[in-house]
């Protein structure tokens, strides 16, 4: 699976959009981009995933660049409960495989 | 949907004792994963099952660790004998794969294990 690079930490004001970047320049054609988050002392929580088109669900939007070498997770109206470590994971389809978690981005939503 | 259920949520034991962690995956899911999280190593996969069959146990640290999935609704991770370095949070996750395509893993709340 391709390696990802994320900033170690970010702050965001409550009510504003949080934009979390992820670089995956070595991604290959059959690899999906997944985003999970982990709120302190809880299990990782699935947020969203995509292959090449932008995706949106009730939690967030995922914007993938045309060359697929980077993506951005957008939380449109961040709340204090969105404070968590956010993980960007690139993973191939085709088999039941593990998720390889990197260091992620610690997002702190400030009041 | 009850989600992935793990028990116990907290376990404190003494070195040398046997520890058994339990997991009930989401109903209908056919893949199950055991992960371990520590400050030093982050989240790492220990073993995963597909249709109750162990597929990859390369992450199991040593023979003291064993995992079973006797049926589609239950799995155990056993450590015997336990050591202080096994102290960590252990997560179970499950997913559904109707075909050879992407699947999403859903995690349980974890078991925090402390070995004294």
Q: Which of B45, B102, B108 sits opposite A43 (nearest CB)?
A: B108
The DSSP line for A50-103 is ESSS-EE-SS-EEEE-TTSSEEEEEETT--GGG-EEEEEEEEESSS--------
Q: What does the pLDDT average to over B39-68?
A: 91
Percent of chain B with pLDDT over 70: 95
- Chain A residue with minimal CA distance to B50? A96
Instruction: Tell me the C-alpha distance between B109 and B81, whole Å.
Output: 24
Set of chain B residues whose Cβ sits within 8 Å of the Cβ of A99: 33, 43, 45, 105
Set of chain B residues whose Cβ sits within 8 Å of the Cβ of A96: 31, 48, 50, 55, 95, 97, 103
What is the CA B35 to chain-centroid distance, rounded?
5
CB contact under 8 A, B93 and A95: no
Point out which residues pair with A55 in neighbouring strands.
A62
Model confidence at A109, pLDDT cuts 50, 70, 90, reads very high
Let me know if B101 is exposed, middle or buried by CB neighbors in 10 A (0-12, 13-18, 19+): exposed
Q: Residue A68: is its pLDDT beyond 90?
A: yes
Q: Residue B103: is its pLDDT beyond 60?
A: yes
Model confidence at A95, pLDDT cuts 50, 70, 90, reads low
Specify the pLDDT at position B26. Answer: 95
Please measure the distance between the N-terminal and C-terminal CA atoms of chain A and give it in whole angstroms.
37
Specify the pLDDT at position B1. Answer: 64
CB contact under 8 A, B42 and A32: no
Mean per-residue pLDDT over chain A, rounded: 92
Q: Residue A48: is its pLDDT beyond 90?
A: yes
Specify the pLDDT at position A98. Answer: 73
Instruction: Tell me the C-alpha distance between B45 and B109, whole Å.
Output: 16
Asked whether the beta carbons of B8 and B109 are under 8 A apart, the reply is: no
Specify the pLDDT at position A94. Answer: 60
Instruction: Tell me the C-alpha distance between B92 and B110, whole Å.
Output: 7
């Amino acid at each position: 699976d391709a390696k990802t690079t994320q900033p170690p930490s970010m702050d965001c004001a409550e009510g504003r959009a949080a934009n979390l970047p992820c670089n995956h320049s070595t991604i290959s054609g059959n690899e999906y981009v997944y985003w999970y988050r982990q709120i302190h002392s809880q299990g990782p929580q699935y947020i969203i995933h995509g292959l090449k088109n932008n995706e949106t669900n009730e939690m967030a939007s995922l914007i993938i660049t045309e060359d697929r070498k980077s993506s951005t997770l957008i939380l449109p109206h961040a709340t204090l409960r969105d404070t968590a470590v956010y993980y960007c994971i690139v993973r191939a389809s085709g088999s039941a495989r593990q998720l390889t978690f990197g260091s992620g981005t610690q997002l702190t939503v400030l009041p | 949907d009850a989600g992935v259920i793990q028990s116990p949520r907290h376990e404190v034991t003494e070195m040398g004792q046997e520890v058994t962690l339990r997991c009930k995956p989401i109903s209908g899911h056919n893949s199950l994963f055991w992960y371990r999280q520590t400050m030093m190593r982050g989240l790492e996969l220990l073993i995963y099952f597909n249709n109750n069959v162990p597929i990859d146990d390369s992450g199991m640290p040593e023979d003291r660790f064993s995992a079973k999935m006797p049926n589609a609704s239950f799995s155990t991770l056993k450590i015997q004998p336990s050591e202080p370095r096994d102290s960590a949070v252990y997560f179970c996750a499950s997913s559904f794969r109707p075909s050879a395509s992407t699947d999403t893993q859903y995690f349980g709340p974890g078991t925090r294990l402390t070995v004294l």
